[in-house]
Amino acid sequence: MGGAARSPCRTIAAFPLPEGPMPQTPAPLSPEDAAALYQALRAEGMADALTTLHIGGAHTRLLSGAADAPALLRTLDIGARVTAATCFAHQPPTEADLEHAIMLVEDAVMPVRALLAPGSTLYTADGGIRQIALAAGLPAQPELHLSLEAVEDTFNRLAALSLGRPATQDTLAQDNAFAATLLILRECLHHLGFDHIVVRSDAVV
């Protein structure tokens, strides 16, 4: 789709080296952080394989492990604020903006799939992802199950706005950080093999 001339999406390191096993005594973390959520879920007695996701402003973090093995943290240099700033020259982003961001995020996410704990369930406590769940029509409650299908439907609404649909015809947040979070979440679900994500409230972390 055409639009005002803009600089190409800047290259971002897609897949930094793994940080390795979590330390036994980690530093204090935000309730939204992937490691804090992982620890809280294990403290609740969850014995199944878990993967936790946090989409921050500058980075996306995934922590994955089985009960009988150390959890490994992966930090990707893609975040909502960075992706919006480097790839979105318009608000809402144009089709070309979205295509550049998708290429960037795919390159970062795709190598991670083989490193996740097999059969794990994906969890998050991110406020931005909760906002997406509510925009997708889920009722507000402490724990939400946001399906890939619902994420895809919500992304299609964003894509329609990028093609010129009047913003007054949709209730999606008119914010490029929201758009970037939605795009990153969509690519994570698609390329990491998850059909849904469990969205926890900070109050239950």
- Residue 203: per-residue pLDDT: 53
This prediction's pTM: 0.83
Q: Does residue 5 have a pLDDT over 80?
A: no
23-27, 46-50, 80-84, 122-126: lowest mean pLDDT where? Answer: 23-27
- pLDDT confidence tier of residue 173, bands split at 50, 70 and 90: confident
- Residue 96: per-residue pLDDT: 95
Query: pLDDT tens across 49-65, in order?
Result: 999 999 999 999 999 99
- Residue 204: per-residue pLDDT: 53
Q: Confirm if 181 and 135 have CB atoms less than 8 A apart.
A: no
Give the residue extent of every domain in the chain. 29-204
Q: Does residue 183 have a pLDDT over 70?
A: yes
Query: pLDDT tens across 103-133, in order?
Result: 999 999 999 999 999 999 999 999 999 999 9
- Residue 172: per-residue pLDDT: 82
- pLDDT confidence tier of residue 2, bands split at 50, 70 and 90: very low
- CATH fold, domain 29-204, is Nucleotidyltransferase; domain 5 (3.30.420)
- Residue 17: per-residue pLDDT: 32
Considering the chain, what is the average pLDDT of its residues? 84
Q: Report how far residue 79's alpha carbon sits from residue 57's, in angstroms, rounded to the nearest whole number.
A: 5
Q: Residue 19's closest CA among 74, 61, 57, 71? A: 74
Decide which of 135 and 2 is more confident: 135
Region 5-30: what's the mean pLDDT?
38
Based on C-alpha coordinates, what's the Rg of the chain? 17
